[in-house]
């Protein structure tokens, strides 16, 4: 049931390790990298709860509940992976990133619910750890592919100005094929349990007696969020500060408008509509999920800091070059790709031991230690001048990555109602996407305003954020 994650993570790793490189090659200014990455999370923010909501309500005797979404996402992601390294212009690369990230989310989100559907609570830590294992192996192979093509097959890793190196192109081609094959393997070799007899997805989102309360709450929350969004954007405009911050204001306003629409639908007694279910369930999340959301925010903010800025940080701080046509820059960019493969390899190994450590201690303590090691790994990169020492930093990052991909989901799945597993897993991904939006909106501003363009300081910031998330784990209620 987890084998498809091998291909999914190959695609995700190729995206994370090479997208900034592709953007810079096509003429992107380093200061604007974060804003170009925004296309992907904005799409994911909209699609994830929708995919989760409808996958909960899908059932076919032949194809099951989650597997149709695996297949559709795999086909779309394969196409996007083939297009990405052949983008002739920056705007096309940003658009393809949008499609690619959305497609990966269509596949990945139901995979999380898949484990929750099929395994009892006492096996879920091992189940999600197995996903982490395949994620680590897939990302390890994908991240090293450009280096393998260059050093083993003598395929060039440089190209004329404005062109993507052939080694990167071939890596994306192999990743696309593997994505499709592994996901379809899971589609055709697994079976799903039919819905529980008491599942009734056509029922209204609330009782009639609850309608006045939720209508008032949705309208109140919607108005507050909308006002905050407009006021924040007005402040950014009048203060003439980084326009990327408008994205945050737009995000608040968007969620506010969704709540206002939900409130109007409840007032009109249209409580069986999907939007009302989505808004109501969002406002009644289990307590454990809310606590984990804060942990996820800080840990994923750290990860996006690394994914967005690791290439320019390593190439400029350690290799001393920001010229995308230079040998030094491309050597550093290849090193980043290898490092990303390395921490995923560490994650694959760590995933084997995480269930054992969690059983001997607790899932919360295990996550705390893993995140602190990851944070220290990111911070240590500031003090390194020898590129080979970066491998030591990646040990901590890899352990943290293994835990991030398994422990929160294992804790969460035990706190969710089975008939809303897909939806809440989709909403839980909000707390992956929201920190990405915040990172893309704020990091460019922070980089230029406080760090004088020194991208290595963004990695230090990410390390501090990851350590904070580790200690916040101690606040989470874990019933297991």
DSSP string of 90-137, one letter each residue: HHHHHHHHHHHHHHHHHHHHHHHHHHHHHS-HHHHHHHHHHHHHHHHH
Instruction: Give the CA distances from residue 429 to residues 56, 209, 293, 408, 434, in Å, rounded to whole numbers and listed in that order.
Output: 16, 31, 9, 11, 8
DSSP 475: G
Spatial distance between the Cα atoms of 309 and 305, rounded to a whole number of angstroms:
6
Provide CB contacts within 8 A for 20, sequence distance 6+.
33, 37, 307, 308, 309, 311, 312
Percent of the chain past pLDDT 70, that is, above it, reads: 97
The per-residue pLDDT for 34 is: 66
The per-residue pLDDT for 228 is: 96
**Residue 17: is its pLDDT beyond 80?**
no
Q: In this structure, are residues 263 and 222 in contact, taking their beta carbons and an 8 Å threshold?
A: yes
Across 49-58, 144-153, 192-201, 233-242, least confident range: 192-201
Sign of the torsion formed by the C-alpha atoms of 308, 310, 313 and 319? negative
DSSP 64: B
The per-residue pLDDT for 324 is: 79
Measuring CA to CA, which residue among 316, 214, 327, 221 is closest to residue 271?
A: 214
Q: How confident is the model at residue 298 (pLDDT cuts 50, 70, 90)?
A: very high
Q: In this structure, are residues 171 and 42 in contact, taking their beta carbons and an 8 Å threshold?
A: no
Q: In this structure, are residues 380 and 314 in contact, taking their beta carbons and an 8 Å threshold?
A: no
Q: In this structure, are residues 56 and 419 in contact, taking their beta carbons and an 8 Å threshold?
A: yes
Q: In this structure, are residues 382 and 318 in contact, taking their beta carbons and an 8 Å threshold?
A: no
Provide CB contacts within 8 A for 44, sequence distance 6+.
101, 102, 105, 429, 432, 433
Spatial distance between the Cα atoms of 37 and 358, rounded to a whole number of angstroms:
35
DSSP 160: S
**Residue 215: is its pLDDT beyond 80?**
yes
- Model pLDDT for residues 416-463, shown as the tens digit of each residue: 887 888 888 888 887 887 887 788 778 888 898 899 889 999 999 999
Beta bridge partners of 233: none
**Residue 199: is its pLDDT beyond 70?**
no
For residue 428, what are its two tokens?
């839980």
- Average pLDDT estimate for 100-111: 85
- Residue with token string 């096996």: 123
**Residue 480: is its pLDDT beyond 70?**
no
Higher-scoring residue by pLDDT: 213, 63: 213
Spatial distance between the Cα atoms of 125 and 479, rounded to a whole number of angstroms:
13
How long, in residues, is the chain? 480
The per-residue pLDDT for 244 is: 65
Angle at 92 (CA atoms; ends 87, 93), nearest 5 degrees: 65
Q: In this structure, are residues 100 and 15 in contact, taking their beta carbons and an 8 Å threshold?
A: yes
The per-residue pLDDT for 46 is: 76
**Residue 308: is its pLDDT beyond 90?**
no
- Average pLDDT estimate for 243-258: 83
Q: In this structure, are residues 259 and 214 in contact, taking their beta carbons and an 8 Å threshold?
A: no
The per-residue pLDDT for 41 is: 67
The per-residue pLDDT for 427 is: 85
**Residue 40: is its pLDDT beyond 70?**
no
The per-residue pLDDT for 198 is: 63
Spatial distance between the Cα atoms of 300 and 462, rounded to a whole number of angstroms:
9
């Amino acid at each position: 049931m987890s084998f498809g994650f091998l291909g999914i993570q190959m695609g995700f790793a190729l995206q994370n390790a090479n997208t900034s490189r592709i953007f810079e090659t096509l003429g992107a200014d380093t200061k604007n990298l974060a804003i170009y990455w925004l296309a992907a999370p904005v799409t994911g923010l909209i699609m994830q709860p929708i995919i989760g909501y409808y996958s909960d309500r899908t059932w076919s005797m032949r194809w099951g509940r989650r597997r149709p979404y695996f297949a559709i996402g795999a086909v779309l992601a394969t196409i996007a992976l083939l297009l990405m390294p052949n983008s002739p212009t920056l705007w096309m690369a940003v658009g393809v990133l949008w499609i690619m990230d959305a497609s990966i989310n269509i596949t990945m989100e139901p995979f999380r619910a898949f484990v929750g559907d099929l395994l009892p609570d006492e096996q879920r830590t091992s189940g999600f750890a197995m996903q982490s294992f395949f994620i680590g192996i897939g990302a390890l192979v994908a991240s090293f592919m450009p280096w393998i093509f260059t050093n083993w097959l003598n395929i060039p890793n440089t190209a004329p100005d404005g062109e993507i190196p052939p080694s990167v192109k071939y890596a994306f081609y192999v990743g696309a094929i593997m994505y499709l094959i592994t996901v379809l393997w899971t589609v055709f070799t697994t079976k799903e349990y039919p819905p529980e007899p008491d599942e009734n997805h056509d029922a209204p989102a609330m009782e009639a007696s609850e309608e006045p309360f939720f209508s008032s709450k949705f309208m109140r929350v919607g108005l507050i969020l909308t006002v905050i969004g407009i006021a924040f954007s007005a402040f950014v405009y009048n203060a003439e500060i980084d326009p990327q911050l408008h994205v945050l204001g737009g995000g608040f306003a968007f969620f506010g408008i969704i709540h206002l629409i939900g409130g109007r639908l409840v007032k009109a007694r249209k409580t069986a509509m999907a939007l009302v279910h989505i808004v109501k369930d969002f406002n009644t999340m289990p307590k454990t999920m809310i606590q984990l959301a804060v942990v996820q925010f800080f840990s994923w903010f750290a990860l996006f800091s690394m994914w967005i800025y690791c290439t320019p940080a390593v190439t400029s701080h350690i290799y001393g070059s920001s010229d995308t046509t230079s040998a030094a820059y491309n050597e550093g960019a290849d090193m980043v790709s290898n490092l990303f493969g390395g921490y995923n390899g560490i994650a694959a190994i760590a995933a084997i031991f995480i269930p054992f450590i969690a059983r001997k201690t607790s899932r919360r303590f295990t996550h705390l230690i893993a995140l602190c090691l990851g944070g220290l790994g990111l911070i240590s990169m500031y003090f390194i001048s020898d590129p080979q020492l970066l491998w030591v930093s990646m040990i901590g990052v890899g352990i943290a990555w293994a835990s991030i991909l398994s422990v929160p989901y294992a804790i969460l799945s035990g706190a969710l109602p089975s008939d809303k597993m897909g939806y809440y897993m989709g909403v839980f991904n909000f707390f992956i996407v929201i920190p990405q939006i915040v990172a893309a909106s704020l990091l460019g501003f922070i980089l230029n305003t406080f760090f004088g363009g020194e991208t290595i300081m963004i990695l230090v910031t990410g390390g501090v954020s990851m350590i904070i998330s580790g200690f916040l784990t101690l606040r989470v209620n874990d019933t297991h």
